Amino acid sequence: KSCVTIEDPQTVILNAPKESSTMKNSERGIGHSVHRFTFSQVFGPETTQSEFFEGSMKDVVRAYVNGVNGLVFTYGVTNAGKTFTIQGTSKDFGILPRSLDVIFNHIRGRHYLKMNFKPYLSNDIKKLEDAQVKQEEAIKTAILASLKEVSDQILPFVWSLNSFCFGLAESNFVPLDVYRTNIHQRTQASVWISFCEIYNEYVYDLLNVLSTSKTQKRRVLRICEDQGGNSYIKDLKWINIQSTEEACKILKIGNKNRSFACTRMNEQSSRSHSIFSIRLLRLTDEHQPCVLGVSELSFCDLAGSERCNKTQAFGDRLKEAGNINNSLHILGKCIAALKQNQNPKMKPSYIPFRESKLTRLFQPFFCGKGKACMIVNINQHASAYDETLHVMKFSAIAKQV
């Protein structure tokens, strides 16, 4: 039974079902049984992926291809559709593959194909020597070779390479009008991607070729700061990509490496926060190019926000749930503190960015450097009501920042 009503394109009403804790509390005079929330846009279950992309991503992608950093993250309980929103399926592409398509259309005819300029630190570029370029090519070849070992059965939302990579040209999906905004400026562009996860407060590179040895542990990466105080993940692999096809292959490999664990709510529910980032390097159009700038677009698929008793979590699963909810709790505290600091009459509040890996990486976006977009996915079923209400209250604070 649905307990969610869309009142208008900006408003959602939640009615507490009889069996929910919210209803039981309201009957005792604690809180309310009906809650109204407003958002910049509400998309109902009938919304197509194409409509959602147009309605949510247009401004972010347009700003990104013109040099403004972008962050998109999905928030909600397990089984609410977060991964589907970002990745989609082989027949119904999500916002990530659609964004990649727009980016490659934007740089068509101006694509710098050499690998001798590479992302460095948080927003710099380093020039590589010939030997280093060969090393980059070898790393990329090794990662793509591991695709043969990926089984299609592992993932809930994984694209079929043929239908995704070649289907875009045949489908009715029309790229946005952003890809010709810089037509008069003679520049070149190079595209690099990374894919990592934060699992139990440890950062792992999802593009590290995994050892077949069961005893060898994955390498944990550190978050460092450059001279300007900007956070970056030390030793994270950045892979040069030259087509949407290559990007989708690499995403598929990273998906295989992501920490999936069986929980009652979703057999392949991801127990980690994953971050897929695309860096666009802008270069002058000449024989010896000069660097004009770097912009980054990150897609963060947050782990499910449900609490422990809902998922029947024990042992390691309980530890995962604790770490997931702690990082989401710190994210909530940061957003609440930012909201308070917007009021000049209030005493400035400490913003605990450094208390979790997630918020350290997101800090620049919440401090006005770039465009951040929060997508809230909700499960309309009555059994998920209390968790959904918790998600909506968090989102209501975030909207006011």
76 is in an annotated binding site: yes
81 appears as a binding residue in the annotation: yes
Nearest to 210 by CA among 130, 274, 149, 151: 149
**133 is known to lie in a ligand binding site:** no
Please name which of 156, 150, 135, 138 lies closest in space to residue 210, comparing C-alpha atoms. 150
Task: For residue 379, count other CB atoms closer than 10 A to its CB.
Answer: 21
Q: At what angle do helices 244-257 and 95-106 cross, to 10 degrees?
A: 150
Residues forming a β-bridge with 291 = 283
Phi, psi dihedrals of residue 75, rounded to the nearest 5°: -130, 140
Longest dimension (CA), the chain: 75
DSSP secondary structure letters along 275-295: EEEEEEEEEESSSS--EEEEE
Residue 181 annotated as part of some ligand binding site: no
> Residue 34's closest CA among 385, 306, 399?
385
Q: 153, 154, 158, 176: which is closest to 86 by C-alpha?
A: 158
Q: Is 61 annotated as a binding residue?
A: no
Is residue 80 annotated as involved in ligand binding?
A: yes
Q: Which two tokens stand for residue 328?
A: 């989401």
The response to whether 77 counts as a known ligand-binding position is yes
Token digits of residue 124:
């710099």
Known binding residue 82? Answer is yes
Instruction: Provide the annotated binding site.
Output: 76-83
Instruction: Provide the annotated binding site for ATP.
Output: 76-83
